[in-house]
Chain A
């Protein structure tokens, strides 16, 4: 199997963050792991679609380097389903992103149940579950006396084999406990989000295309910080920019966001999305209309990061519920 860098969710100042495991951490009793908490503040997209990376150079060519092997331990189901959106863009279109591909191939994904959904969570409304059913190599449930692992891929099987005596057989009672926990999390989500919304969000949003007042009302408190888009696990927009270095030109790919004023501007200055309202609407049309129509599912997982991070207190659930 070789050496792997392991990332785990840790609770730091009451927030869950991804943390790179070091040998010292194992002895550090003060570090609180966040396996039973909700998803980390950072989406896992950054592990594959880097927030900033060199992708080309000129005149010397730049080719993707070998990626380090990693284990992401404790990924939540909402983030796993967001990976499907990103893979559609970076691996399944006309062109494959070799950087994304190499990172994904070299990463083992171990999911963990989401047992304590918070009031910003709405995965249930997006058709997701608070526990993983696919998309990881294996998934774990935190039970009182240990962890219940369920293998999902051959790679997951290898890990179990490597673990040897650390793993024992599962009892029916443990499976029943896990299923009860699953149900309790689902029930909690249903209490947080008791109402459903229009089952065809794509059609409902398209129906609002001319209703500027509707969009204006919901965009009113936006301060255009685009934090919602950077925190979004599905947002895939990026910008390529070139810099002259001593060795030549270096091309960098950075996360971008459609809320930025210059997002659609072309050479010479014309800007088809100069008005913020058009960019605000773009977010909803992109995630719920165009992505759904093209790929068959919404580019939103209900992780709630955009709600939690919004300075203008815009709740995407409210926008969708009022369609």
Chain B
């Protein structure tokens, strides 16, 4: 019987800086990580522990995966000290992917905040791969300041894609910034979607998710058409250890993406 607690090796091929505290790690796992957009992996930083991350690369490119990570705690601080050629551990994928079949024929309204764009990039790439299946892709992204924007080189390319409508804002601008200024909800003042045939997908810090959800509901998105990344302390990833409990769910097993309809009756879900 296989051992679900056992990671396998993954070599760091490349590391690139996204922002002062966010980096993208390109990993070459020793065996395929057959993830689908929205699923996560448990990454072992040797000697420092394990933490869950959602890959941000294209789901069918399996010999190497990219994970965009913010330095926030013990494991990520140790991870940021590693370089190309170093080895990390990986196990997974875990959790449920975005239900892309349910998204077909619809307008997809994606809202990201900060490093929350990382898992949304995997979704975006999966959607863009078969863009004719979807009516339109909207991407709204907010960061604290221009230097906190992730995927700075990729965003202009996404903007040019046919069928994609992309808009950005920063909480605080600087002399280089010519775009919108304000928290991400300023991008939601007008939502050009046909609400009868749209889904919203949100990922970002808890407080941002709370206000974005409030706005989406206000404008008329149905409860079951709002998909939220509800990651908690997904320690084992297997639906066993209990730490990621959110109401009736273990977010590692039942999520990490849940609809507002699934969580609306939970006390303080964010």
Q: Which residues on A are within 8 Å of B, measured CB to CB? A: 55-59, 61-64, 89-90, 93-98, 101, 209-210, 236-244, 248-249, 251, 253, 256, 258, 263-270, 272, 282, 286, 289-290, 293-294
Contacts and interface: CB of A to CB of B under 8 A. Distances in A.
A65 to B, nearest CB: 11
B65 to A, nearest CB: 18
B242 A236 contact: yes
Nearest to B44: A58
Interface in B8-40: 8-9
A204 B6 CA distance: 41
A95 B248 contact: no
Interface of B: 1-9, 44, 46-51, 70, 72-76, 87, 89, 206, 231-233, 235-236, 238-248, 253, 267-268
A229 to B, nearest CB: 10
Q: Would you call the interface of chain B mostly helix, strand, loop, or mixed?
A: loop
A267 B75 contact: yes
A58 B3 contact: no
Contact of A63 (B3, B7, B241): B3
A264 B240 contact: no
A64 B72 CA distance: 34
A241 B268 contact: no
Given A238-B236, A242-B47, 8 more contacts: A59-B9, A94-B239, A96-B1, A236-B240, A240-B5, A244-B46, A248-B46, A268-B73
Nearest to B234: A266
A238 B242 CA distance: 7
Nearest to B72: A268
A247 to B, nearest CB: 12
Name, among A210, A241, A258, A272, the residue most crowded by chain B CB atoms within 10 Å (CB to CB).
A272
B44 to A, nearest CB: 6
B242 A93 contact: no
A64 B3 CA distance: 7
B251 to A, nearest CB: 10
